[in-house]
Amino acid sequence: MRILIVEDEARIADFLERGLRAEGHFCVVANDGEAGLALALDGDFDLVLLDLMLPGIHGREVCQQIRVNKVDTPLIILSAMDSLDDVITGLRMGADDYMTKPFSFEELLARIETVTRRSSEITTQEKSLATGPLEFDRSSLRFSVDGREIKLTAKELAIMELLMSNPGTLFSRERILSNVWGLNMDPLTNVVDVYIGKLRKKIDAENAESFIETVRGLGYRLRVV
């Protein structure tokens, strides 16, 4: 995903940028409200992470202006202002979520997943996902390669849907596990690797490079073809 980070504190901006890059995202950092607003209005971002106490324009105003200008990019406020009033005001300004600092990076990832899934459900529900020769029709749950239908189990379909939602993006085993099997699975299980193996047997042509790339020690991603 393309993520805009609007944060004036270099330490926090750095931490976010490094963490999100490691998860396979592309990040742009704006250090004040003005730059953040301009980028949010012009840039083609999938998500905005917005601090409130910013030099120049206050984050609340940034958020409001983004929505007034009919930009509906998912937006999460990250702020040290933690009163219920602050949270409610932020959500009323059009933020999709509000996290108070300090926060755990794992929780941020989970919230990002929720708000971006919500928005992609709104814009692309009922549509099919397609990457190169791979196609997944969400309404009929039909998966095909080069127009040839391939029978996949529910779990296999869920993995493909996840990978195809963001081709080229790295998905850690933990993310695949929590998305497809739920959070209660033992994180040490190798079930993800087993299912990826099954999927490869079904969808890859013999001797061809696999559609699903292994990123050693990190996870998997869909090859952009």
Nearer to Ca ion, 53 or 57 (CB): 53
Please report how many Cα atoms fall inside a 13 Å half-sphere around the Cα of residue 213, on the Cβ side.
Answer: 13
- Minimum CB separation of residue 20 from Ca ion in Å reads 18
CB-based closest residue to Ca ion: 53
Nearer to Ca ion, 8 or 23 (CB): 8
- Minimum CB separation of residue 129 from Ca ion in Å reads 38
d(CA 44, CA 196): 32
Nearer to Ca ion, 8 or 17 (CB): 8
Binding interface with Ca ion (CB under 5 A): 8, 51, 53
Using DSSP's 3-state secondary structure scheme, residue 20 falls into helix
d(CA 52, CA 193): 41
Nearer to Ca ion, 33 or 74 (CB): 33
Q: Quick check: 7 and 31 in contact, CB under 8 A?
A: yes
The length of the chain in residues reads 225
Nearer to Ca ion, 51 or 96 (CB): 51
- Minimum CB separation of residue 53 from Ca ion in Å reads 4
d(CA 137, CA 196): 20
Q: Quick check: 160 and 136 in contact, CB under 8 A?
A: yes
- Minimum CB separation of residue 54 from Ca ion in Å reads 6
d(CA 192, CA 24): 19
- Minimum CB separation of residue 75 from Ca ion in Å reads 16
d(CA 111, CA 11): 21
